[in-house]
Structures are given as structure tokens and as C-alpha cells.
Amino acid sequence: MRYRRWNQPSLGARLAAYAVLAFMHLPVLVIVLYAFTTADRTYEFPPPGLTLHWFAAAFARADIWAAMRLSLSVAAVATFLAIILGSLTALGMARGRFRGKESITVLLVLPIALPGIITGIALLSAIKSARLDPGFWTIVAGHATFCIVIVYNNVVARLRRLPRSWIEASMDLGADGWQTFRHIVLPQTATALLAGGMLAFALSFDEIIVTLFTAGHDRTLPIWFFNELFRPRERPITNVVAVVVMIVTFVPILLAYRLTRRGAE
Amino acid sequence: MRELSTFLYRRPTMYLLLLLVPPLLWFGTVYLGSLFTLLAQSIYAIDEFTAKVVYSPTLATYKQVVTQPANIDIILRTLSMSVAVTIACGLIALPIANYMVRYASPRARALFYVGVMLPMWMSYLVKVYAWRLILAKQGILSWLLDTMGLGAALEAVLRIPAIGGPSLSASYIGMFIVFVYMWLPFMILPLAAALEKVPESLLQASADLGARPVQTFRRVTLPLALPGLAAGSVFTFSLTLGDYIIPSVVGAPGYFIGMMVYQQQGTAGNIPLAAAFSVVPIVLIMIYLAIARRAGAFDAL
Amino acid sequence: MTCAIEFRDVSRVYGEVRAVDRVSLTVEPGEFFAMLGPSGSGKTTCLRLVAGFETPDSGSVLLNGRDVTDDPPYARDVNTVFQDYALFPHMSVLENVAYGPRVRGQRKQDWQRRAQEMLELVQLGHFGERRPSQLSGGQRQRVSLARALINQPQVLLLDEPLGALDLKLREEMQLELKNLQRRLGITFVFVTHDQGEALSMADRVAVFNRGRIEQLDTPRTLYTRPATAFVASFVGSANVVTGELAQRLSGRSDPFAVRAENIRLRTLTATADAGSMSCIGDVADVQYHGAMSRWQVRLDSGEVFAAALADAHANGDFKVGARVRLEWSRADAVPLAATERP
């Protein structure tokens, strides 16, 4: 048997690991490739030719822009609400023990722990029971709920790492609660807040599972996309939209990740 | 401003209330309120003749869900897919997580971590769509199998009743592949974290006592990594159980729980049935959480 | 004269634990006051009660005769040097030192000037633009001192400030702090678990144990006349004699303490001095400590005594296993409080 050091991986193990890694990135490359294909009715591979035509066609479509605008505004409003309500929650929950704190923690985990479909159908039944019309604000309500949780998780983790002695030192030196917040707490948590906000924005923009229940007749970009999957009209345009969605959601998440990494050092 | 500050300083309860009441108010009404409405709806039933909801409490809807053979079919189908996906994710994640933690150089390890997290952050819908492209009749996978001369084999596999379907992008096996792809990062990351906690010294001791690498893995690494596996499995299980997008986009004709919920509230307008159906995953997930907790999943999260 | 700090029957309770148990004390203006005790004894909690980071559950805290029990920290004329220095990493050293005047609304040129002066006072005049992370432990400590003193507080609180420094630096800082206090004339309150530090720096020391003050005295009195068994063994090393042995040696059953350096070692044949107590035992261990050596002697009745002698007095009669007589004068047997607190 070929000798190798006992704690070195076999060639097979190394190949397997890298193969899985490649497998995980394959689909993204596929999407980008197909955005340039000349075939307009099939998904044939290899693509018959490459073109930028579909990008222009997509940019000319009014319905795509409308859906994009809706998605962006929903994400903006939901993120705004999330930043305010999420920060308030984090400030209240960061320290101190009080009755009901554990219940609140469980409550704040539910939107992420329960499958999206539960949240979706729950919101829908509430909307129907209250005899509301599904629309912009119902979409925002659904998104804001998990956006709050995302911002909360980011900010509370940062707040808990803030040494209590800094806050005490600030007050000891003469700064009241508000000044301490402005000079010490806020600068230290700004990156976490920003990261949470960007994460929330990206996830709201991409949200489909709950939105399908709460949107009624409105179409966010993911909903537009979902509908197009079943009506293969101009497939490459769908591919272009896919690339756009990918970039709009990926960039904020990447930035948020870099921010949290820097904050943790 | 200072007076307000001092005022609140002396009354910590009021300060706490000031901070927590607005968000909790939102959460309470929007989220908890919706959940209660859902549960409430599930104990009503729909009148078969008028197609309207009858607002008197009854367990008839629940009975419908758990006794009608078609519904039981749906539940079992979803459950078996969730279990299959969980097992597959576990099996695939083990070698890559183990490699990442034990053997990769620090730079390679960083590359792996980012490489695993990156797809997790990509848009969910785009990923599903990408697989639709890959699995399509003339797509990459078919082309690959054809050039390798396995085209006929693919046809044969698709004809197998339980896992096949009209085409790869409309079959159970296609669905299975997509599910595994989607949730793989959720299994790899907790597993890697748990493996990192296994001290190198234990593995060295095992080798010192005469065990070969495979034996060390089976007897030392694996049992200690179990909490990580359990934690990851919670994600794969519950995410598959409740998903309705993937079965619709890459699915065979058979229904899944999620699709049932979506469909019942939509065209049929039968919210009580949809509600009752959605309680099933909640119950199943809670049972699974109880099992996973025993295996130490909560320590690994 | 009004005291700088006064505690009136102050208690602070955490659930079942009485961190501070009905403590009353006074600190004179201009005093260098030390709070000494093991961890969990309540000394740090008392410091935090003075600063205002904790509020007592009962009793009142007075500063300069004024009741400040409900006052937040920023309303008290007290400043603290923290154990971890608590320097703000996102500000420069100069901005850290100037924090107090800044939040009180001083103009930029004023606080810049004053902060620079304070930095020169602690010999860090050229470090203004650096970040705290670029400084050594000793330098950070001086910055936190400057940051506290710039506000000209009536009382300066120091929470185990020398714990993180190595021995040489610690001894330097002890001298510096003492000089600083003398020069400024303000009240210093110092928390430490190191009895040597407390004895060498403080005018008066409060010895804490389990939430109560066991003794509050000058260092010399604490050392020569400990009031309880705890103080006797915590401050310096003492042999605490109780029960039957006490009865045998002193004629009374009340406990007393004898300092190790007050015990003389004698051969069995040497005559006992008048007015002294003595007992006989075997040498169990001898430890060499440079200037002094310590003997552990086990009596026949089982108790172990520690005797410390200058090395010059040691001779071959007192090797391990030798049978010796321990002797000390009656005056050196310090009576201790009769009852142990439960």
C-alpha cells in the first residue's frame, strides 16, 4: 500500500470535497451562461450562440420595471421598520433579566424557525379575517416581521459584546444615558446595524414564499419571476431577470458579511 | 434631556417598557395574531354545499386531513422526501465538512467556508430556476448523460414509479436533487462547527492506540459530531417539509403538504383545510425537534 | 468635618446572596482608603455603590454629607479607574481623556488644551493621537487615570487597578499613585485583594468578608491587632489558636492569633523565657524564602504551626524531623473575637 502520513487526506477525499464545492456553485454559472444564449424557446445546451440582445429586451419591458419598483419599495420600507423596531428590541433585550424575557426570545425565533408557508398562510387568514385587501402594506407587514428578527439578531449580538465597563465609564465621566448612547453605543453598533439592514433588504427583495400569500394581485419581482416559470414565453428574458435578482440580493449580503467580519475583529 | 435621562435611569422598568412595547406590539398583532387566526381557522370547517366557512368549532377539518387517504398520501410523500433529503445531505456533508476541518490548510479552509456560505446567500428563486435549466430536457444534465452514453439509463430511471416522472425536471428524483442542493450548506456549516470542537488530541490518541483513520472517524469523530449532524438535520427536515415552491417548479404530479396549503387557500378558498394542513408540519417539526434535542442538536446551534 | 463618603447601613442583595450586608463606614476627605478582601467579599460592590453603578436595596450612600443614593453616576462628583481600563477604542487617547469635559459641553479648544495638560501630567504627552490599542498595559492605565482626574472629582475610585501589571510595574505604580494622591489631596478609594498592596499604600483599610467589614483600621493596627480569625489569616500570616489548645496555652478558651515571625524555635533543653507560651512538636517542613525561612511544625495534638525566622537564626538543630519547642511572649498572643459569624 502506498505510504502516506496518517493524518493526510487521501486523493479521493480531497477530490470529493472539491467536487462538492464545485457542485454547489454550478447553478450560478449556469444562470449567467443562459442569460447570453441566443435560443429563445428551449433550454438547450450547449447554447447555439451568445448575445446581449436579451438584456436590452428585458430593460424595455415595462412590467419588469413595475415589479422591480414594487420590490425595491417594499424592501426599503420593510428594512426601515426593521431597523427601528429591531434596534429597540435589541436595546431592551441585550442585558438585564426580567420576567418574560425567555418568552420574548422564543417569540423572536419563531419567524425563522417556522416554515415560511406557516407564516404565509397565517398572515393570509388574518388578512381575510380582518377583511383587508391584500396590497403593498400587507406585503410589507409580512416582510417586516422577519426583517425585524434579522436586524435584532445582528444588533443584539454586537450589544452583548460591548463591555459593560465602557457604558459605566461613560456615565462615570459625566455623560447621561442619551450622551452615552450617542458617543459610545451607537458608534460601536453602527456596523452591526448596517449589516442587519442590508441583510434584511436582500432577503426582503428575494422573498417569495410568504409574499405569494400576502400580495394579492400585486407582483413583486420574485412573483413576476415565479409566474414566468410556468409560461415559457421569452425564456432568456427570465434568465436576464434572474441575473439581476441575483446581483441585487447578493451584493448587500456580501457587504453585510464583510461588515460583520470587520466588526468582530 | 439630562432630566429625562435621569428620570428613566431611576425607573428601569419604564425604560424597558418604552423600548420593548413598540416592537412587541407589532409582533403581537401582526405575527402572533396571524398564528392564532390560523389555529382558529383550522378548527372551523367549510360547508360543502355553500363553499363558505362555518364558524362553529369542529374537528372535522382535522379529521379530514388525517383520515382521507389522499391526504395521508400527501403527508407521507412529504415526510419521506424530507427524511430522504436529510439523510442524503448528511452523507454528502460529512466528507466535505471533515475535509474542511481536518485536512485543509488554513487558506483552503477559509476558501471552503466562503465557498459554502456563498450559495446560501444567493437568491432562493434563482437557484431553483437554475436547476430547472440544468434538469431541462435538452439542458446540461441531459447533454452530459447523452455524451457519456447514459441517455438510455436516464430514461429507465425516469420510468421507475416512485422516483421518476415525465422528465428530469418534473420528477421526484429531480426534486430530490434540488432539495439536497438547496439545503446542503445548512447541513455543512453546523457539522463543520461541531467537528471543529473535537480536539485534535483525541484523534491523535486514537491513532496512538492503533486505530486506522477510518476507524478513528467511525468511533471517535462521528459520535462527537452527532450534535452538529442533528442540528443540520433540523434545518433540512423542516425546510423540506414546508416547501411548496420546489415541488411546483421541479415536481412530479404528486402533491406535497406545502402545495396543498397553497392550493387550498387559493382556488378552493378553503382556508380551514389549508390551516389544518399547515398544522401538520408544525407538529411533525416539533416531534423532530424533540428527537434532535436528545441527540444534542441544541448544544450545537 | 463632613466625611467624603459615608455608608449608612447599606445592603445589596442578589436573590439569596447578600453581597453587601448592612455595611456602615466613613471615609475622611483626603484619605487614601483601601477596601481589602477575597473575591466575592463585597468590596467591589461597595465601590460600585459609591460610583453609582449599583443602587443599594436598603440604607443610604452620602457624598460630602449629601444623600446621593438615587443619583445616577453622571450626577456624582466621583470618578472611577476601571479594572479593564475601559478606554473607548474608537477614540484617540486625547479624545478619551477629554471625554468628561466634552460631554459637559466645554468648547473644543478648551478640552483639547486641558486633555493635553493631563496627558503631560501622567507623562504621556506625545501619545495624544494614538489609539488605545496601540498602548501597553501600563500606558493604558495612566490614560484612564488622566481621563478620570481631568474632571477634578472629590473622590477617585480605583477598582483593582494594578492587577494586570507585572510585579516591577506594579511596584512603580504603587509609588506613583501614592505620590499623586498626596499631591492632589483628593480622596482615593482603592479596591484590592492583595493585602501587601493595601498595607503599603493606604491610610486606613477596611477588611471585607462575605459582605461585612470585619475590621476597619490603620494598616499597622490591622497587622498587630487583628480583631478576628479571618483578619488574622488574611492580613499577613498568622497561627490561629482555638479550642482545647487555646485553653491549654493561655488558660482561657478564647481564640487568639500569633504571627509566624513572633514565634521562636528552641531546642527542648533550652529554658523557657518567663511570660511566654510554649508548646512542643516535630518539624514537618522547612521552606527557604531568601531572607526568611518558614518552618511547619506539627504538635503532638495535631495542629500545625508556622514559624518564620530570619535565615541567620537558623541552625542544624531545626531540620526536618527534629523535635523542637515553639515559644512566644504572651504579649504577642492577640485575642480574637470569640464567636465566628455563621
Q: List CB contacts (< 8 A) between A176 and chain C.
A: 72, 74
pLDDT at position C116: 95
Q: List CB contacts (< 8 A) between A158 and chain C.
A: none
- From residue C149, alpha-carbon distances to A75, B138, C117, C119, C162 in Å are 49, 78, 11, 10, 17
CB contact (8 A) between residue C80 and residue A168: yes
Size of interface A-C (CB pairs under 8 A): 61
* Closest CA in chain C for residue B5: C72
What is d(CA C53, CA A264) in angstroms, rounded to the nearest whole number?
27
Contact call for residues B83 and B183 (beta carbons, < 8 A): no
Give residue C244's Cα distance to chain centre. 33
What is d(CA A130, CA A214) in angstroms, rounded to the nearest whole number?
13
Contact call for residues A220 and A68 (beta carbons, < 8 A): no
A21 touches chain B (CB under 8 A): yes
The strands making up C5-14's β-sheet, listed across from edge to edge, are: C17-27, C5-14, C58-63, C66-67
Residue of A14, A121, A179, A239 best to disrupt the B interface, most CBs of B under 10 A: A121
What is d(CA A15, CA A19) in angstroms, rounded to the nearest whole number?
6
Q: List CB contacts (< 8 A) between B2 and chain C.
A: 74
pLDDT in tens, chain C (342 residues): 688 999 999 999 998 899 999 999 999 999 999 999 999 899 999 999 999 999 999 999 999 999 999 999 999 999 999 999 999 999 999 999 999 999 999 999 999 999 999 999 899 999 999 999 999 988 999 999 999 999 999 999 999 988 878 888 888 889 989 999 999 999 999 999 998 899 999 999 999 999 999 999 999 999 989 999 899 989 888 888 888 888 888 888 888 888 988 888 888 887 777 788 888 888 898 888 878 888 898 988 888 888 888 866 656 668 888 888 888 888 888 888 865 554
pLDDT at position B224: 87
* Closest CA in chain A for residue B55: A129
If you write DSSP's letter for every residue of B244-267 in order, what string do you get? Answer: -HHHHHS--SS--HHHHHHHHHHT
Mean pLDDT, residues B44-72: 78
- B-contacting residues in A 153-212 (Cβ below 8 Å): 176-179, 202, 206, 208-209, 212
**What nine digits make up the cell of A213?**
400569500
pLDDT at position A1: 40
Give residue B78's Cα distance to chain centre. 11
A60 touches chain B (CB under 8 A): no
CB contact (8 A) between residue A46 and residue B143: yes
In what helix (H) or strand (E) does residue B236 lie, and over which residues does it extend? helix B222-242
Q: Which of B100, B129, B140 sits opposite A242 (nearest CB)?
A: B129
Torsion of CA B288, A121, A252, A156, to 10 degrees: -60
- From residue A188, alpha-carbon distances to A155, A161, A181, B219, C87 in Å are 10, 10, 10, 45, 13
Looking at per-residue pLDDT, the higher value among B151 and B7 belongs to B7
Residue B149 in 3-state DSSP?
Answer: coil
A25 touches chain B (CB under 8 A): yes
pLDDT at position B260: 83
A114 touches chain B (CB under 8 A): yes
Look up residue C70 and give its DSSP letter: T
Residue of A161, A166, A173, A179 best to disrupt the C interface, most CBs of C under 10 A: A173
If you write DSSP's letter for every residue of A172-234 in order, what string do you get? Answer: HTT--HHHHIIIIIHHHHHHHHHHHHHHHHHHHHH--TTHHHH-TT---HHHHHHHHHHS-SS
Burial class (CB in 10 A: 0-12, 13-18, 19+), A72: middle
* Closest CA in chain C for residue A177: C74
Q: In which region does residue C253 sit, left (phi positive, over 0), alpha (psi from -120 to 50) or beta (all else)?
A: alpha
List own/partner pairs for A33-38 with CB under 8 A and 24 or more apart: A34/A236, A34/A239, A34/B133, A35/A236, A35/A239, A35/A240, A35/A242, A35/A243, A37/A236, A37/A239
Among A26, A50, A28, A29, which Cα is nearest to A39's? A50
CB contact (8 A) between residue B34 and residue A119: yes
Percentage of the residues of chain A whose pLDDT score is greater than 90: 38
Q: List CB contacts (< 8 A) between A99 and chain C.
A: none
What is d(CA C292, CA B209) in angstroms, rounded to the nearest whole number?
50
Query: Residue C89: how many CB atoms within 10 A of its CB?
Result: 11
Q: Which of C74, C78, C79 sits opposite A175 (nearest CB)?
A: C74
pTM, 2 dp: 0.83
pLDDT tens for residues B136-191?
A: 777 778 777 778 877 777 777 777 776 666 777 778 888 899 999 999 999 999 89
Contact call for residues A255 and A198 (beta carbons, < 8 A): yes
Helix axes B106-121, A235-264, angle to 10 degrees: 130
Contact call for residues C268 and C72 (beta carbons, < 8 A): no
Residue of A172, A179, A262 best to disrupt the C interface, most CBs of C under 10 A: A172
What is d(CA B86, CA A164) in angstroms, rounded to the nearest whole number?
42
Question: What backbone torsions phi and psi does residue A65 show, to the nearest 5 degrees?
Answer: -65, -40
Contact call for residues B171 and B252 (beta carbons, < 8 A): yes
C73 Cα to chain A: minimum distance (Å): 5
Q: Which residues pair with B152 in a beta bridge?
A: none
Greatest Cα pair distance in chain B: 82
pLDDT at position C268: 82
- The number of helix segments (H) and strand segments (E) in chain A equals 12, 0
* Close Cβ partners of B255 (under 8 Å, ≥ 6 residues apart): B73, B74, B77, B247, B263
Look up residue C261 and give its DSSP letter: G
What is d(CA C252, CA C237) in angstroms, rounded to the nearest whole number?
23
pLDDT band of residue A261 (cuts 50, 70, 90) is confident
Average pLDDT of chain B is 84
Tell me which residue has cell 423532530.
B288
Contact call for residues C205 and C217 (beta carbons, < 8 A): yes
Residue C153 in 3-state DSSP?
Answer: coil
Question: Half-sphere exposure (CA, 13 Å, Cβ side) for A42?
Answer: 10
Q: List CB contacts (< 8 A) between C70 and chain B.
A: 10
pLDDT band of residue A243 (cuts 50, 70, 90) is confident
pLDDT at position A42: 66
- What does chain C come to in residues? 342
Q: Which residues pair with C66 in a beta bridge?
A: C63
- The number of helix segments (H) and strand segments (E) in chain C equals 10, 18
List own/partner pairs for B162-170 with CB under 8 A and 24 or more apart: B164/B252, B165/B251, B165/B252, B165/B253, B166/B252, B167/B135, B167/B136, B167/B137, B168/B135, B168/B136, B168/B137, B168/B141, B168/B142, B169/B131, B169/B132, B169/B135, B169/B136, B169/B137, B169/B139, B169/B250, B170/B250, B170/B251, B170/B252
Torsion of CA A204, A207, A211, A213, to 10 degrees: -140
End-to-end CA distance of chain A: 46
pLDDT for A4 beyond 50:
no
- Please state whether the peptide bond connecting residue A46 to the residue before it is cis, i.e. omega within 30 degrees of 0: yes
CB contact (8 A) between residue C52 and residue A171: yes
CB contact (8 A) between residue A111 and residue B2: no
A26 touches chain C (CB under 8 A): no
pLDDT at position B107: 86
Query: Residue A171: how many CB atoms within 10 A of its CB?
Result: 26
CB contact (8 A) between residue A165 and residue C100: no
Q: Are strands C32-36 and C187-192 parallel, antiparallel or unpaired?
A: parallel
Chains that touch B (3 or more CB pairs under 8 A): A, C
* Close Cβ partners of A13 (under 8 Å, ≥ 6 residues apart): B95, B98, B99, B103
Question: Half-sphere exposure (CA, 13 Å, Cβ side) for C34?
Answer: 27
CB contact (8 A) between residue A14 and residue B99: yes
Residue B11 in 3-state DSSP?
Answer: coil
Chains that touch A (3 or more CB pairs under 8 A): B, C
* Close Cβ partners of B278 (under 8 Å, ≥ 6 residues apart): A117, A118, A121, A122, B38, B42, B257, B261
Torsion of CA B226, B228, B231, B234, to 10 degrees: -70
Average pLDDT of chain C is 89
pLDDT band of residue A2 (cuts 50, 70, 90) is very low
Residue of B9, B11, B13 best to disrupt the C interface, most CBs of C under 10 A: B9
Burial class (CB in 10 A: 0-12, 13-18, 19+), B174: buried
Amino acid identity, position B26: W
Question: What backbone torsions phi and psi does residue C246 show, to the nearest 5 degrees?
Answer: -60, -45
pLDDT at position B85: 95
pLDDT at position C93: 96
B11 touches chain C (CB under 8 A): no
**Cα Rg of chain C (Å, integer):** 24
Residue of B36, B91, B133, B134 best to disrupt the A interface, most CBs of A under 10 A: B133
A253 touches chain B (CB under 8 A): yes
Q: Which of B31, B139, B258 sits opposite A145 (nearest CB)?
A: B31
Q: Which residues pair with C309 in a beta bridge?
A: C293
pLDDT for A263 beyond 80:
no
Size of interface A-B (CB pairs under 8 A): 245
B204 touches chain C (CB under 8 A): no
pLDDT at position A103: 84
pLDDT at position A3: 45
- What does chain B come to in residues? 301
What is d(CA C4, CA C155) in angstroms, rounded to the nearest whole number?
7
Q: List CB contacts (< 8 A) between C73 and chain A.
A: 168, 171-172
pLDDT tens for residues A32-91?
A: 888 777 776 666 667 777 777 777 777 788 888 899 999 999 999 999 999 999 999 999
